[in-house]
Every structure is written in C-alpha cells, then in structure tokens.
Amino acid sequence: MEERIEINIEDIRESNLADIPEACRGCVYWEYPEAFEQGKKDAVKTNAFEVKKNEWFAQTMKEFGTCGKIAYYEGAPVAYAQYAPSTRLPKIGSYGSKPAGKLEEGVVFLSCLYVSDETMRRQGVGERLLQNIIEDLRRRGFKAIETFACRSGTDNPSGPMMFYVKNGFHLKDKSDPELPLMRLYLESIVP
Ligand SMILES: CC(C)(COP(=O)(O)OP(=O)(O)OC[C@H]1O[C@@H](n2cnc3c(N)ncnc32)[C@H](O)[C@@H]1OP(=O)(O)O)[C@@H](O)C(=O)NCCC(=O)NCCS
C-alpha cells in the first residue's frame, strides 16, 4: 500500500499568519476587491496588503472563529485554506454562479484552497486539508460549505471541479459554466 505523507494541519491564528504562502499573504481579492483592483492598476506591492489581510483575519476570527488552516510538511507550510461567511468575502457577489448561501442558513464559503508547494500536489494534501475544514465546520454545527470551482481549469479560485465532486460536493448553480458554485451538505456526513 502507498505510504501517506505526514502532514500537520493547524488553525490560522495571530502567531502563524506569517506562514500563509507568499502568494496569498498579501492577496485581498476576496476580502477587499476594490483595493485589490486598484492595487493592480497602481502596481501596489502585495506586501502593502498584508496588514489589511491580517486585520481581516483578526476580525473574522473574532466574529466567526477559525477561518483558515495551514498544512505543514516537515515543519514547512505547504498548503493553505481560507473560509468564512459570505458577508466577509464581498468578491463572491461578482461571480455569475449564485446565490452563495448565507451564514443565517448555516452556510460557509471556502474562498481559497491552495497546495502552494506544487511538488506536494496529488499526494492527498488538498483532500486532507479540505476534510479537516469539513470536520471543523460540521463540529461547529454549520449546515453546508460552498465554493466556486473550475470546470476545465485546475487553478483559481479553489481548484478543479473534479476534486470537489470526488469530495462529495454537488453542483448548486452553473450560471457561469466555467466557475460553477459547488455545495456540500455537512449534515449528511456521519461523524
Ligand atoms: C486543487 C488542489 C487543492 C488539490 O490538492 P492536491 O493535494 O493536489 O490533490 P489531492 O491529492 O488531495 O487529490 C485528491 C483527488 O482529487 C482529484 N484531483 C486533484 N487534483 C486534480 C486535478 N488537477 N484535476 C482533476 N482531479 C483532481 C483526484 O481525484 C485526486 O485523486 P487521485 O490523485 O488519486 O486521482 C491543488 O491541486 C491546488 O492547490 N491547486 C491549485 C488551486 C488554486 O489555484 N487555488 C487558488 C489559489 S489563489
């Protein structure tokens, strides 16, 4: 039987914010879309947005609780995920597939799932990170998790549709056929 690599998954908290992969640490695409677009025009260095990102984490943790995870392999961060109520991620509204579920309905949105170390892909890291989030949200009593997946691509925003289908998600809306809204009901998962 193939051996599973040993990874350690930790909640994001103030003390490990610096372990967020560089590409995501200063990315405010979901959280502050106007600043993100303006930053692109003005060629603002992404590290200028790190403070905003850290503030976002601090406020979301206060309002909602754990909203991100980092996977470590041999002590080094290799993957990252972020999830929150849709109201904390205003970029969601600009996507064609809709509507994203609301927190009042028990729905949480997965905005980023990213195995940042590409040499670590296809070894089960993404799946274990996703399952860790699912377990976290189920334990906290939420009803469903949603994300936008790529139908034909493999990258942004959260990875390919087949990855989510393999992990039990169903198609909720495909108004934008390339970036469908996927949903997983957490209640159907037996603890
Ligand atoms: C999508 C992603 C999270 C998957 O993580 P991973 O560790 O590489 O995938 P896993 O090994 O856990 O895959 C589990 C299963 O999902 C499916 N899967 C994973 N990646 C896939 C791909 N690129 N295409 C099709 N199916 C895929 C497969 O069924 C796979 O099982 P298999 O390898 O036995 O066939 C990872 O590839 C990634 O980070 N991609 C980039 C995503 C991105 O750009 N995020 C936004 C950053 S801003």
Q: Residue range 147-156: average pLDDT?
A: 87
31 has a pLDDT exceeding 80: yes
| Rounded Cα gap, residues 1 and 55, in angstroms | 44
Q: Which range (25-29, 128-132, 151-155, 185-189) has the least confidence?
A: 185-189
The per-residue DSSP string of 158-188 comes to T-BHHHHHHTT-EEEE-SSTTS-EEEEESTT
Predicted TM-score (pTM) above 0.75: yes
Kindly state the DSSP code that residue 189 receives in the 8-state scheme.
S
List, in order, residues 6 or more apart from 55 with CB less than 8 Å away. Answer: none
| Rounded Cα gap, residues 27 and 168, in angstroms | 28
Pick from 68, 66, 107, 65: nearest CA to 85: 107
> Is the beta carbon of 156 within 6 A of some atom in ligand 1?
yes
Residue type, 168: G
> Is the beta carbon of 81 within 6 A of some atom in ligand 1?
no
Q: Pick the residue whose CA is nearest to atom 25 on ligand 1.
A: 162
> Is the beta carbon of 121 within 6 A of some atom in ligand 1?
yes
User: Contact at 8 Å (CB) between 53 and 31?
Assistant: yes
Q: Pick the residue whose CA is nearest to atom 4 on ligand 1.
A: 126
Instruction: Show the domains of the chain with their CATH numbers.
Output: 8-185 (3.40.630.30)
> Is the beta carbon of 159 within 6 A of some atom in ligand 1?
yes
Query: What is the pLDDT at residue 188?
Result: 59
Residue 187's pLDDT band, with cuts at 50, 70 and 90, is: confident
> Is the beta carbon of 39 within 6 A of some atom in ligand 1?
no
